[in-house]
Each structure stands twice: as C-alpha cells, then as structure tokens.
Amino acid sequence: MTYQEKKSIVSIVSAVIIFVSFSFWMYPQYPIGGVLEDQFLPFWGRFVLLLTLVSIIAHIIISIIFNILFSVTTKEKQPSFEDELDKLIALKANRNSFFIFILGFLSSMTALVISQPLQVMFIILIISGFLADVTGSVTKFYHYRKGV
C-alpha cells in the first residue's frame, strides 16, 4: 500500500473517531427540555465551534504521528513533492467533498423552509460536514487505489 493510501485510511478512521467521541462527549451537555432558543442555540454554536477546533487540532496531531510512525516503520520519508496525479486526485476529492457539504447545506435550509426545529438544521449541517470530510478521504483512497 502506498503512502497516500495509508494516509487516506488514517484520515478516514481519525475523522470517524474524532466525530463520534466528540459527539458522545457533548451529548450530556445538551439542555434538557431545550425548547426555548436561548437554551439550545448556545449549545449548538458551542458544538460547531468546538468540533471545528478539536477536529483541526486532532487532524494535525494525527498527521504528525502518522508521518513519524511511517518514517520509523518503513525507513522511508514522506513524498516531498506532488505530481499531476496527486493534484488531480486532490481536486476530485475536494469536488466530491464540497458537493456533499453543499447538499447538506441545502438540506438544512430546506428543513427550515418546511418549519422543522432549528436543531434539525444544526444536526444536518454537522452531519454533512462530517460526511464531506469522510467523502474526501474515501475519494482519495479510491483514486489512489484504482486510478483516475
């Protein structure tokens, strides 16, 4: 398996672990009977901001650890350049990732239009962000494995 394939797998697994563990950590903080906006809007705002911050920091730390372990176990360095194939695969992964997020964004706005509670909008946005992250990594893995 190539460096890029291993990195994609690590990215998929870490995204799932980060999202699930963060969600379980935040779940007990959900306001019970949060019917009023002043009770649950701060919760969802905190959830989104903290998830973004935790996810970025965790991905950076996991990437550093992955590169160290890769170098130690294979006695190789990470590739220091990107060729045209790498750039093409990254573009396809970004396209698919953005497509999933835009679908989620439009779905969350549709939920508001059909008078769903605000919690539904936040849940759809959060899940679409997670799925967009996983979709990008899966796309990279697929194209490194099968080609473009």
Q: Each residue of 44-99: pLDDT tens digit?
A: 888 999 999 999 999 999 999 998 998 888 888 777 777 888 899 999 999 999 99
And the tokens for 105? 């964004």
For residues 34-53, average pLDDT: 80
Q: What own/partner pairs with CB < 8 Å and gap ≥ 24 does 16-25 have? A: 16/134, 18/54, 18/55, 18/58, 18/59, 19/51, 19/55, 19/130, 22/50, 22/51, 22/54, 22/55
Residue type, 70: F
